[in-house]
Amino acid sequence: MVSEARVSARTFRIPRWLPGVAISIVLSGALLSVADLEQVMQAVRSADYGILGIAFLLSFLWLAVRARVWQILLRNRAAYRDVLFTAGEGYLLNNFLPFRLGELGRAFLIARKSPLSFAEVLPTILIERVVDLGISAMLLLAALPYVVAAQGSGRIGYIVGSLVGLALAAMYVLARYHRQALERFRRLSVRWPALQRWGGRFLEPFLSGLSVLTEGRLFLHFGAWMVGNWGLALIAYYLMARAYLPQAEPYWSLLILGAAAFGGAIPSAPGAVGTFEGAMAGALVLLAGPEHTSTALAAALTARLYNYLNSGVIGGLGLLREGETLGQIYRELQALRTSSETSKS
């Protein structure tokens, strides 16, 4: 009876990918229900392709700068060429694999091309993503005075910004007092030798990777390049909006980029299908008016192509250069996860 209950529990367990896929399906259906597909296609045909061409070229410059951002977090212990191709491969993986496995994928891949361990690379990606989220919140807060007048409408931005600040502070404390954190872990895990053994192997290099937060000059260098990277994205998103809506103002990019970044961060199908388009199109409708819903969706779909372009070219070249395939990397990541779970048990 007990074994039958266990089998039944496994049978009816909800797959982890299902909620994200459900959100993507619902939002995609909502977008298609409010937009006229014929008008979407007409907007695509009427777009200014000269402006779009400049925006698409900027996508490659954006990835080149983002690779430099990551290289700084890696303390220049990996060659720039390897970092560039690996960043492209990671974004390409995120477009097709669930659970944002591209982030684990690029940590796994760069660890094979450099003296860094997988556990040392992971904190750099965590820092990068937390700072991205904080900048997204700041963009939304900066855009609010232009689009809403109601008091308290920026509460969500302040909440996200506060959470980001707390996350960075917590990571700084862990990095600053990493020896004490390791000692505390060893004392607390003494009753579970397997956990202590696995955690000891992972935690020490992980905390070492966080130590970039305690090196002021290095972190400022990282911050300067990160601001430049987001500046390029703001220009590109403004150009994409302008290509479809000539009345677009430069400040529009604050809202549409901030919204698109949050849309890409919430649970969804691989590649943030539906959530990305919904967030960006919604921001454009808020700025341009509901009569431009179909045009806003066309611009959001173009932004998706913008995101696929650099990762497809750079990531694809990286995979070809290394003789890898998406399926092969996915199987290697699954094996890595399985071995981690086995060692913990």
Per residue in 275-304, pLDDT (tens digit) is 888 889 989 998 999 999 999 999 999 999
How many residues are given for the chain? 345
Going along the chain, which residue ranges are E strands?
none
Helix (H) or strand (E) holding 344: helix 326-344
What does the mean pLDDT of the chain come to?
82
CA pair distance 173, 230, nearest whole angstrom: 27
Closest CA to 208 of 74, 101, 343: 74
SS3 state at 341 = helix
* 81 vs 123, higher pLDDT: 81
Please give the angle made by the CA atoms of 56, 58 and 60, to the nearest 5 degrees: 85
Structure tokens at 35: 């937009």
Nearest CA among 114, 102, 100, 106 for reference residue 85: 106
- Nearest Cα residue to 273 out of 16, 24, 18: 24
State residue 303's pLDDT score. Answer: 93
DSSP 312: I
Q: What does the alpha-carbon distance between residue 162 and residue 168 come to, in Å, rounded to a whole number?
A: 10
In this prediction, residue 341 carries a pLDDT of 53
Could you give the CA distance from residue 103 to residue 124 in angstroms, rounded to a whole number? 10
- The answer to whether residue 203 scores a pLDDT higher than 80 is no
Least confident of 4-8, 36-40, 198-202, 340-344: 4-8
- Distance between CA 25 and CA 278 in Å, rounded? 11
Q: What are phi and psi of 100, to 5 degrees?
A: 50, 45
**DSSP assigned state of 97:** S
Mean pLDDT across the stretch 109-115?
91
* pTM beyond 0.85, yes or no: no
Stretch 10-27: mean pLDDT, rounded? 64
Q: For residue 237, what pLDDT is reported?
A: 96
Largest interatomic CA distance in the chain: 68
Which tens digits make up the pLDDT trace of 140-151?
878 877 776 444
Tokens of 317: 């070249």
What are residue 152's phi and psi, to 5 degrees?
80, 0
pLDDT at 20: 64
Using CA atoms, how far apart are residues 289 and 315, in angstroms rounded to an integer? Answer: 37
**Type of residue found at 255:** L
End-to-end Cα separation, the chain, in angstroms: 25
Which residues, 6+ apart, have CB-to-CB distance to 193 below 8 Å?
Answer: none
**C-beta atoms surrounding 323 within 10 Å:** 7
Do 332 and 111 touch, CB atoms closer than 8 A? no
Reported as type and span, the H/E element at residue 257 is helix 252-265
User: Do 268 and 23 meet the contact criterion of CB atoms below 8 Å apart?
Assistant: yes
